[in-house]
Structure 1
Amino acid sequence: MMDKALSEPEVKSVVICGQNGRFCGGADIKEFGETMTGPPLVPMLHKIESGTKPVVAAIEGIALGGGLELALGCHYRIAHSKARLGLPEVLLGLLPAAGGTQRLPRLIGVPAALDLITTGRHVTAAEALQLGIVDEVTDGNTVDAAVKFALSVAGKSLDACRISTYPCPQLPDSDAFFEMAMQQVRQSARGAIAPVACVQAVHAAVSLPYTQGMKREKELMGTLFTSGQARALQYYFFAQRAVGRWSTPSGSRWDTSKPRPVHKAAVIGLGTMGRGITVALAQAGLSVVAVETHEKLLMEAKQAVSGMLERGAKRRGVVPAYDNISYSCNIRPVADVDLVIEAVFEDMTLKKTIFQQLSEICKPGTFLCTNTSGLDIDQLASQTHNPELVVGMHFFAPAHVMKLLEVVYGPRSSPQAVATAMQLGKKMDKVSVLVGNCRGFVGNRMLKPYLDQAFFLLEEGATPELVDRVLEEFGFAMGVFRMSDLSGLDIGWRVRKADGLVVPEVLTGPSARIRHGFRYSPLGDLLCEQGRFGQKTGRGWYQYDKPGGRVAKSDPWLHSFLEEYRTQYGLAARCIDHQEVLERCLYALINEGFRILQDGIAAGPEDIDVIYVLGYSWPRHRGGPMFYAGLVGLTNVLERLEHYHQVHPDVPSLQPCSLLRKLVASGSPPVHRWREFIKKIHSQL
């Protein structure tokens, strides 16, 4: 069709538009093959650009990836005011390979192009106009505007409209600029190779002629296309969509149930989590009753919530949703809401009391949700007249920012209650993942063996610096101990006290580190007894310049403390290498993931992987813990767990899960086949 339009004498100019209000979203990643032969788009773009007839892109809806590259190959671009444009290939472990890395810098300059290409962020039509990506923005019919524009330029010279012929804007010191850009990208990418390749491709646009730059772009794309990181990122792309089709492990679908509309909600408890949840609900357009029984805390919460609403509105260019929230220091105003989210302190007795009150006060049919991070949903449901209306909604801090929401169904939760919680999560722009009811649910249950191994490694000779460095080099935003200092050591200490794990240390030697028959490390408890709670006190696993300080520094006191601890308990320090840190921390976590799948707490590996990427900073370019297990080889994971469990028989989290053994015995099927394999196992029980 394009060849015909360009060749027929009767055609004076051409307008390219999409269907159904969308210009073009780029390639369908479902169709990506195993080999890279080069996008067929490239020769067509060269033909469009080198032609003698003006070609105008009429951009409606989206112009992403190959869609934007198509528009850049045109001579002019007209966009609707609501259109979004971008080159998001980096988010899939790739780079724009149809000239995007070569044309965009020539059009809008290197710094702006580098920002868009290395982050994959979308821009509005207004920003695209400001940057110079489009020539005109319209509120009316985009195709009509493009046709009018195309007729106005028919017959005019196109020499100044072929982007590939533009000289790349020069930088004062190109080498220094790209050295700094590469340093910044490496730091933010945390091991991801696609952003680095994007910088290299844009550098080629500056340092090489267009034809050679295109060749370099193709070479870099070929390397990325076959990489494990691209596979991981593309797997994760589909995993986020898979969790939206929620089901039980046995295969029963829950998303066929119709959710009930929620117009008015209540939040009980306005601590850090309650404030964030209130903001998330208000920003989603709901009317919110925010309850805090302590007058002083209520006033502080009002001020904090207002500030959060203001900042969020400024980012999104909207009016703050103050009017959506009413405050109360009495629980009575929740009587007429459609749904309640309890967000008080993580104490079962307190939560039970509140659920008893809610069951008496709320109108019939009100859904009762708890923002617990791991307490038994069924125990709370048992305090109400209608346990089928109770579900868990585990938000992650800060609740108005973090995308993840674990929706927890108890044994008596109704499909409609689950559907309503899932739909509400979607309305708040969360990725809602349905999980079963157990201690810690999915995320925190898997976190425990990961943390345990980090503590055990310290006992055996490692330092916090070593463990954190290895995990951060793997791609985590923070290692175990830096993260612990940030969140506060006293939080875990309270939980361990409630579990009866913290006891007076009257004994020394190995037997003093046994709890309930298994190995236990009291290191965190001992630091808390010293008042070392992390950043908030200026001391934890690291030292800080002042309480509340953010810069972690190695603490000689901590190193001496570890030496004394090992002497007291008869532990001989040994040299621990990077591989052991990674394997023991990650494989223990992965092993618990297999147990979760085996127990039916998560329906498939995608659920676990989405939870860990969105909620626990697992590096996206590694796909998630379960995908990573498949990537390194299930046989290898099994063998290393067997080795470590033989060395540490008193650590049950290192004993390989029977599901892992079954998967290895069945030939280690790829991760996308595990869900069916697990379903078959559950159907046989």
Structure 2
Amino acid sequence: MAQYSRVSGSVCLITLQNPPVNALSAAVRQGIVDTVKRALNDSKVKSVVICGQNGVFCGGADIKEFGTNMSGPPLIPMIHAIEAANKPVVAAIEGSALGGGLELALGCHYRVAHSKAILGLPEVTLGLLPAAGGSQRLPRLIGVPAALNLITTGRHVTAAEALQLGIVDQVTDHSSVDTAVKFALSVAGQSLDSRRISTYPCPRPSDLDALFEEAMQKVRQSARGAIAPVACVQAVRAAATLPYTQGMEQEKELMATLFTSGQARAMQYCFFAQRAVGRWSMPSGARWDTSKPRPVLKAAVIGLGTMGRGIAVSLAQTGLSVVAVETQERQLMEAKQAVSGMLQRGAKRRGVAPALNRISYISNIQAVADVDLVIEAVFEDMALKEKVFQQLSAICKPGTLLCTNTSALDVDHLASQTRSPELVVGMHFFAPAHVMKLLEVVYGSRSSPQAVATAMQLGKKMGKVSVAVGNCRGFVGNRMLKPYLEQAFFLLEEGATPELVDGALEEFGFAMGVFRMSDLSGLDVGWRVRKGDGLVEPGLESGQSARIRQGRRYSPLGDLLCEQGRFGQKTGRGWYQYDTPGGRVAKSDLWLHSFLEGYRARHDLVARRIDHQEVLERCLYVLINEGFHILEDGIAAGPEDIDVIYVFGYGWPRHRGGPMFYASMVGLAKVLERLEHYHQAHPDVPYLKPCNLLRRLVASGSPPIHRWREVIKKHHSQL
């Protein structure tokens, strides 16, 4: 809806009303059409101000209407009518003007923004482009390079940057509505010929072709197969090279292609899944989201390695008082320097004061006695963590939440080392912890709903996408990662190269393939875990038993590289070679290729030709199959949880929606058939055997992903 009122005698104030973000639903669009018409026909009205209620201008199109038969007036003619008005129309921007909201503002003759407002055209993040004239008006207003940057990335800009770019005419620290009304009074009666952006010639840089060629190259590189950023470049090119009406036609055609694409469906699914994961109950049926979280004002981090430092930064930036504990004096001093640098860089980026005084660095664990919550981030070693939890249980005040940042260890076992196991939860951050958006909140069998609610809320305050998951080896993300990595090793044994495997996965949309990622994080990390699991048997490399461990197929390739001191980027050698230790550019390594040939010869393995399709099916379908096991075991509440974890924590391409969504797009019957095929070919790999839940879903007619929960529920009720 849109409310009509007259202020200051001759100014009509139109207020958009559709909480929480005043999205442009059918009712709102109808309200704008009706009130604008009324204002233009009212002889007492000399100018118009459009604003939004509750301090938000407009968050854009109503995404809930996507995929439905959209009723109500279309957006484009509505914006054209505003631009064609013979009375000045001023947009009063508070809160946010995003997507269709900014396109509405660009149709107005003037724009006044509050200093804390944010503006942007984020459609590309939903697999779309700004298709209500945004791709045509913005380049005409601020020039091609700046418009390309905003439209192809979907990034938000502050009011100050918007003023600098020329998107808004004025920025105020006071009420944007009051300022806009004064502004509207001052321009009443003036000619509007120079204020209609669609009539502006688009500024054409002299090297237009080179500019677009470079933009297209950059976008293709960063988009990794996503089609929306490419379409955005094409739409802006239309603005720069065609008259406005033809540019609008081009925008419409490009949007039609995107709107019906699987990629747009995947990205919109991601959008809703991200919002939904914070609201769902545990698979066990207990609800944490109705429990009142405990207040957390003071927190502690134990262990200031890479992970602990990032967690301390995240907590301090949230406004908490932080006690950072590191018992090694030298490590403590290094951490203090590193954390201060991270806080300063982060503050500079966000334009705020660094939270340096919020952290106290202490070498004695007794200092955590009065905190509300502790996050343990010591080395991933069960004996060490047991000791820490025993100490914390003795030192902390009653009611203190004890959280572990373990990436795979048993949360229930750690809880058993304390007096109050109900206060123990996992908070599994992803490196670098102050940058990565994902947080797996792991609840043990005795974790109280209130403890889970507190950890979830703290994650949200830190700007994380928090997902509640059950307790098992590796939780959700790392449990699924294990078979994925193993398949990559097996492919090398059978004839693939690291370049082939990584190439297929990067072409699919991952920023890095398995082996480049392994070199970046360090091969020794997985080696340590495998040693702890009793899988590493040094000296057996030449014997056949080296390829069987604990009764199943095992590849010792990673162990053999580590025995050679090849730990990845840190040593300058891993699956690839690097110019120097710590170098970032992965180069093909002839030594590695001849090492693989020698390994195959010793084990009588005949190399065969492996194509990209097999790489994708072997690696991705085992990961998906493990996802079905996780749903079957009740470790994740639904497929959306798994998909959010993989998109935000493991670099799964957003335009493919997440592993479980991807399985539904490929077709569950196809995934089942290929898993059966590979399991027959490799009977010594148990996790290639299709999960019973996958079979049940196929037998149920492969229902759409939002209906899987019904089948899962039925499955659990029959157990």
Structure 2 length as normaliser, TM-score? 0.94
**When the two structures are aligned, how many residues end up with a matched partner?**
685
Which of the numbers 250, 271, 292 marks the counterpart of 1:216? 250
Distance in 1 of aligned mates of 2:97 and 2:292: 34
Which of the numbers 626, 629, 635 marks the counterpart of 2:660? 626
Distance apart, 1:39 and its partner CA: 7.9
Q: Spell out the pairing of 1:117-132 with structure 2 (5 A cutoff).
A: 117-132=151-166
Matched position secondary structure for 1:380: helix
Residue 73 (structure 1) aligns with? 107
CA spacing shift, 1:653–1:522, aligned 2, 3 Å: same
Residue 363 (structure 2) aligns with? 329
Which of the numbers 572, 580, 601 marks the counterpart of 2:635? 601
Give per-residue Cα distances to partners, 1:526-568, cap 9 Å, x unaligned. Answer: 0011110000110000001011111000000000000000000
CA spacing shift, 1:252–1:37, aligned 2, 3 Å: same
Residue 563 (structure 2) aligns with? 529
1:572 aligns with 2:572: no
Give per-residue Cα distances to partners, 1:352-395, cap 9 Å, x unaligned. Answer: 01111111111111111111000001111111111111111101
Distance apart, 1:79 and its partner CA: 1.1
Which of the numbers 540, 547, 552 marks the counterpart of 2:586? 552
Matched position secondary structure for 2:374: strand
1:60 aligns with 2:94: yes
Residue 531 (structure 2) aligns with? 497
Matched position secondary structure for 1:327: strand
Which of the numbers 241, 261, 265 marks the counterpart of 1:227? 261
The letter of the residue matching 1:194 is A
Residue 149 (structure 1) aligns with? 183
Matched position secondary structure for 1:20: helix
Distance in 2 of aligned mates of 1:212 and 1:491: 56
Residue 572 (structure 2) aligns with? 538
Kept in 1: contact 2:668–2:702 (CA 8 A): yes
Residue 315 (structure 1) aligns with? 349
Distance apart, 1:8 and its partner CA: 3.1
Residue 405 (structure 1) aligns with? 439
The letter of the residue matching 1:347 is D
Residue 387 (structure 1) aligns with? 421
Give per-residue Cα distances to partners, 1:563-604, cap 9 Å, x unaligned. Answer: 000000110000001100000000000000000000000000
Distance in 2 of aligned mates of 1:308 and 1:506: 45
Matched position secondary structure for 1:33: coil
Kept in 2: contact 1:38–1:218 (CA 8 A): no
Which of the numbers 616, 640, 652 marks the counterpart of 2:674? 640
Kept in 2: contact 1:250–1:679 (CA 8 A): no
Which of the numbers 290, 294, 303 marks the counterpart of 2:324? 290
| Bigger mean CA deviation after superposition, 136-145 or 76-85 | 136-145
Kept in 2: contact 1:15–1:57 (CA 8 A): yes
Residue 379 (structure 2) aligns with? 345
Distance in 1 of aligned mates of 2:713 and 2:73: 39
| Bigger mean CA deviation after superposition, 101-110 or 22-31 | 22-31
| Bigger mean CA deviation after superposition, 243-252 or 209-218 | 243-252
Give per-residue Cα distances to partners, 1:44-64, cap 9 Å, x unaligned. Answer: 211221222111111111111
Distance in 2 of aligned mates of 1:199 and 1:576: 35
1:614 aligns with 2:648: yes
Flag the structure with more relative contact order, 1 or 2, with Cα contacts below 8 A and sequence separation at least 6.
1
Matched position secondary structure for 1:298: helix
Which of the numbers 178, 187, 193 marks the counterpart of 2:221? 187
Matched position secondary structure for 1:85: strand
Distance apart, 1:508 and its partner CA: 4.3
Distance in 1 of aligned mates of 2:372 and 2:286: 27
Q: Mind listing any 5+ residue stretches in structure 2 that lack a counterpart?
A: 1-34
The letter of the residue matching 2:317 is Q
How large is the Cα RMSD of the aligned pairs?
1.3
Residue 37 (structure 2) aligns with? 3
Distance apart, 1:9 and its partner CA: 3.0
Distance in 2 of aligned mates of 1:487 and 1:650: 29
Kept in 1: contact 2:286–2:449 (CA 8 A): no
Residue 444 (structure 1) aligns with? 478
Distance in 1 of aligned mates of 2:249 and 2:422: 61
Distance apart, 1:295 and its partner CA: 0.8
The letter of the residue matching 2:235 is A
Distance in 2 of aligned mates of 1:3 and 1:250: 55
Kept in 1: contact 2:483–2:622 (CA 8 A): yes
CA spacing shift, 1:358–1:547, aligned 2, 3 Å: same
Kept in 2: contact 1:510–1:570 (CA 8 A): no
Give per-residue Cα distances to partners, 1:115-146, cap 9 Å, x unaligned. Answer: 11111111111111111111111222222221
Q: Mind listing any 5+ residue stretches in structure 1 that lack a counterpart?
A: none
Distance in 2 of aligned mates of 1:39 and 1:446: 47
Kept in 1: contact 2:537–2:546 (CA 8 A): no
Give per-residue Cα distances to partners, 1:235-259, cap 9 Å, x unaligned. Answer: 0000011111131224432211111
Percent identity between the aligned chains?
Answer: 83
The letter of the residue matching 1:28 is D
Q: Spell out the pairing of 1:464-475 with structure 2 (5 A cutoff).
A: 464-475=498-509
Residue 273 (structure 2) aligns with? 239
